[in-house]
Amino acid sequence: MTQILLHNYPQSPVAEKARKAFGMKGIAWSSVEIPRLPPKPMLTALTGGYRRTPVMQIGAEIFCDSLCILEEIERRFPEPSFFPDGSRGLATALARWSDGRLFDQWVKLILAGAGDALPQDFAADRGRLYLGPDWAAELERAQSDLPHLAAQARQALSLVDAMLSDGRAHLLGTQPSLADAVFWHVIWFLRGRWDGGPRLIAEFPAVEAWEARVDAIGHGNRGTEVTPEDAIAMAAAAEPDVPPGEDPRDPQGLRPGMAVTVAPDTDGGEQPTEGVVRAAGRDRITIFRESAEAGTLAVHFPRAGYRVRPA
């Protein structure tokens, strides 16, 4: 199979979710390091504008958003499953909570907790992304509301601790699942990026023991680092293998050949990706786009959390 590349940087919590998921599958992959802050010209040459981290590349196919990445990894490597014992519905519901409201709260806590140590360019970029256009005022409110935000994080940790209180090894039973990857990344983020994180986590011994077990899983078979230039060359040398597909019940009437834009359904000021629909279903939309650097690319997005508009 064509080499799996993860465009990421070491400090990214969402990239850590994908890295841990690779470890659960025990798969081989290579890292392409990208900048923490835009501009990211090598990345957007592949995505057409999408700038979030991580992005997975397999040949000329580009997978945006960790949800899309993990779904594709499960499809290509079904064993061991991210959903042991038929846990897909529960694991996915927990992922929606962890990736949505929980992550947003903890980002706010970590940004606010950094105080004056937070670099202004980083504060402006992540503030706009996660707090909206009025990010500076929102960040100031968060700094004054830090005890409340810490109390919210503590309550979430208590829920995870309760799930583990019966002695199970992992959140949904004896085997690691998608739920472990998605909770791992927010707890990894809290521990590593907020001074109060280790003390707060230590209040929950079942969480700490689970954390050590998930940490021991590792990141899979990580190969030699690939340069952004080589990643683009690999895409240019490949062709996307995505058959056309449509859903006759699609509420937006999406059909192969339609010109559209796709972007996160938030007010983060992000550039949409423009292309032509190749396949659209309930869970994913794939568009074909032409890149001057990399030729024809298939760019995949989840439907959940993304807005598709006519180009």
Map residue 264 onto helix, strand or coil. Answer: strand
How do residues 167-225 score in pLDDT, each as one tens digit?
Answer: 999 999 999 999 999 999 999 999 999 999 999 999 999 999 999 999 999 999 999 99
Q: Do 56 and 34 meet the contact criterion of CB atoms below 8 Å apart?
A: no
Q: What integer pLDDT is reported at residue 82 of this predicted model?
A: 97
- Interval 67-94 mean pLDDT: 95
Q: What integer pLDDT is reported at residue 267 of this predicted model?
A: 81
Q: What integer pLDDT is reported at residue 268 of this predicted model?
A: 81
Q: What integer pLDDT is reported at residue 116 of this predicted model?
A: 85
Q: For residue 43, how far is the Cα from the chain centroid?
A: 15
- High-pLDDT (> 70) share of the chain, %: 100
Q: What integer pLDDT is reported at residue 304 of this predicted model?
A: 94
How do residues 14-38 score in pLDDT, each as one tens digit?
Answer: 999 999 999 999 999 999 999 999 9
How many Cα atoms within 13 Å fall on the side-chain side of residue 231? 29
Q: What integer pLDDT is reported at residue 25 of this predicted model?
A: 98
Full-model pTM: 0.96
- β-strand 284-291 against 295-302: which pairing, if any? antiparallel
Q: Do 73 and 27 meet the contact criterion of CB atoms below 8 Å apart?
A: yes
Q: How far apart are CA 38 and CA 288, in angstroms?
A: 24
- High-pLDDT (> 90) share of the chain, %: 94
Q: How far apart are CA 26 and CA 222, in angstroms?
A: 10
Q: How far apart are CA 186 and CA 248, in angstroms?
A: 38
Q: How far apart are CA 181 and CA 75, in angstroms?
A: 17
Q: Which among 22, 47, 46, 193 is positioned nearest to 106, based on CA atoms?
A: 193
Assess whether pLDDT exceeds 90 at residue 54: yes
Q: pLDDT tier at 1 (50, 70, 90 boundaries)?
A: low
Helix spans in the chain (H): 13-25, 41-47, 66-76, 88-97, 103-114, 120-131, 135-144, 146-163, 178-193, 197-202, 205-217, 228-236
